[in-house]
């Protein structure tokens, strides 16, 4: 099973690279909200508070990006069409073709966020999201933060802390323009990656 998944990953990665290599990196930068650095012939990409560089000569990332996050970054650069962000947030089930996979992920994300919140103080929760480069904003929850997964692909987390009547809970949302930048399959992978990064390093699953 793992060999099949690795083969599928490699095929998708090669296909994405082939599509990118025939395009103008300056055009890609404009559509994706990233920067093309002429001096180094590289794309400068900000993701989760980190700066990444994609060399246009050999299409490698520095620092290296492993696993499915590597593929997501390539897909984002490939699919980005420059659509402005709307300032509105939707659940994963509201994505185009998201009725099945997106709706299932919404349920899984609520469960995983509930597990993450157990036994944590509000300050510990804030620190966990700050490590992802998240910015606290005004919203519907007790704690709301905008997570900068990619320049035009942010996520929103709404957290309600535990009280006398209800346990702590949370929801993970996407910008309403998300369909213009990644597929629903990619979106679910993005959400899964973010949730895994909330786990202690030793407890994270390979994605």
Tens digits of residue pLDDT in 128-182: 999 999 999 998 899 999 999 999 999 999 999 998 889 999 999 999 999 999 9
- Name the nearest CA neighbour of 33 among 161, 145, 149: 149
Q: Tokens 């992978």 map to which residue? A: 189
0.85 surpassed by pTM? yes
Quickly state the pLDDT bin for 5 (edges 50, 70, 90): low
- Is the separation of the CB atoms in 190 and 101 below 8 Å? no
Is the model's pLDDT at 101 over the cut of 90?
yes
Tens digits of residue pLDDT in 104-118: 999 999 999 999 999
Q: At what angle do helices 184-197 and 67-79 cross, to 10 degrees?
A: 140
Tens digits of residue pLDDT in 52-79: 999 998 888 999 998 889 999 999 999 9
User: Taking all residues of the chain, what is their mean pLDDT, rounded to a whole number?
Assistant: 93
- Is the separation of the CB atoms in 134 and 197 below 8 Å? no
At residue 78, the pLDDT reads 96
């Amino acid at each position: 099973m793992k060999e099949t998944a690795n083969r599928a990953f490699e095929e998708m990665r090669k296909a994405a690279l082939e599509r990118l290599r025939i395009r103008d990196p300056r055009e890609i930068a404009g559509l994706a909200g990233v920067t093309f650095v002429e001096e180094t012939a590289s794309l400068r990409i900000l993701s989760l508070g980190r700066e990444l560089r994609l060399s246009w000569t050999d299409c490698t990332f520095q620092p290296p990006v492993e696993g499915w996050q590597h593929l997501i970054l390539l897909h984002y650069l490939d699919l980005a069409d420059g659509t402005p962000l709307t300032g509105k947030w939707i659940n994963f089930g509201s994505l185009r073709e998201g009725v099945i996979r997106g709706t299932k992920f919404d349920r899984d994300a609520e469960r995983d966020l509930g597990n993450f919140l157990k036994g944590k103080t509000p300050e510990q929760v804030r620190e966990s999201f700050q490590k992802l480069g998240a910015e606290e904003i005004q919203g519907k929850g007790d704690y709301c933060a905008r997570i900068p997964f990619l320049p035009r692909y942010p996520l929103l987390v709404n957290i309600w802390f535990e009280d006398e009547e209800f346990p702590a809970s949370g929801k993970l949302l996407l910008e309403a323009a998300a369909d213009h930048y990644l597929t629903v399959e990619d979106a679910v992978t993005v959400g899964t990656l973010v949730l895994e990064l909330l786990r202690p390093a030793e407890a994270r699953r390979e994605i």
